[in-house]
Amino acid sequence: MQGSEPGQQIRLEYRSPAYWCVTFDVPPLNIFDPWHMTPLGVIVSVLGADSDVWGVVFDGTIDGFFLAHCDFLARPEDTFCLLPGPTGLRQLRLTHWYGSAAPSFVSIAKTLGRATFVGSELSLASDMRSGSRENGTLSLWEVGCGLVPGAGAMVRLRRLTGRGRALEVLLGADEVRRDVAELYGDVNRAPPDGELDGFVDALAARLASFDKRAILDTKRLANQADPPLDAGIQPEWDTFLALLIGPGTQARIKLLMDKGFHMLGDVETRLSYHIGQIGL
């Protein structure tokens, strides 16, 4: 991990008493380290306990990357050893669970740039998703490396896009342009890059001006239309962890590392292309 401590790389920023922003600032690529799970979980818990907050925006500061993949340079046991949270879900999945299931606030993902792997899963876990049109893509490329998404992406994506389109995204393991993601229902809106900040800020401020009880009761009742997510997320995570330590997956990850994975350059900016090459 590069740069400052995990707690400084994920910041909670005040916009108004009812509207806060969670910002990812992990140079140079916004890669998600296992040890980011704890401060992110703490931030989400703090927001959930604040009676004044009911609008939370997730965004990133690294040019070109909202939030990238997890840290494959970390030891697998660093992920395995993280303790479960209060619902029994391990911390990354707990944080994602809070995104759409949190009873005390509404979350919006503002994805300027690439949202891959963890970034796509965090976006899917939010109540609403907006992304930049010209320079933004979504990508769930785990299958291309011999993995499966592990934090609820399969359950959520199927609900948003339908089974066929979800399988196209998941099994194709390719980048999805935001205009296509908007068509599929993967994101709510895909405004031009220069309009994204203004659109999300206006939406969050508008929500923050409404009555909190009406907002949260509406979210609660809308959530009742879907079955609980926990039963679907648990096998995703278990399968991800089992595949992560497998020789086939490790061999594919090493091939990517040899090409420049985890470094600024062509592999990270065209990751889906390079993943499509390693099995040829």
pLDDT for the residue numbered 165: 95
Enumerate residues 6+ apart whose C-beta is below 8 A from 248. Answer: 146
pLDDT along the chain (280 residues), means of 10: 63 92 94 84 84 92 92 73 53 63 89 92 93 90 93 89 95 94 94 94 93 93 80 83 92 94 94 89
Q: Please give the pLDDT value at position 145.
A: 94
| 83: in domain | yes
Report pLDDT for 98. Answer: 64
Q: For residue 1, is it within any domain?
A: no
Number of domains composing the chain: 1
Query: Catalytic: which of 121, 175, 182, 268?
Result: 121
Domain assignment of residue 234, yes or no: yes
Residue 211's pLDDT is what? Answer: 93
Pairing, β 175-177 against β 10-16: unpaired
For residue 231, the model assigns a pLDDT of 72
Neighbours of 183 (CB within 10 A): 14
25 is a domain residue: yes
Of the listed 142, 175, 236, 268, which one is catalytic?
Answer: 142
- Euclidean distance between CA atoms 93 and 96, whole angstroms: 5
Is 121 tagged catalytic? yes
Residue 55 falls inside a structural domain = yes
Q: Is residue 61 a part of any domain in this protein?
A: yes
Q: Which domain holds residue 163?
A: 6-278
3-state helix, strand, coil in the chain (%, to 5): 50, 15, 35
How far is residue 273's CA from residue 2's CA, in Å, rounded to a whole number?
26
pLDDT number for residue 1: 40
> Which of 154, 113, 150 has its CA nearest to residue 24?
113
- What CATH number is associated with residue 175? 3.90.226.10
Residue 16 to residue 210: CA distance in whole angstroms:
13
Q: Is 182 a catalytic residue?
A: no
d(CA 87, CA 78): 20
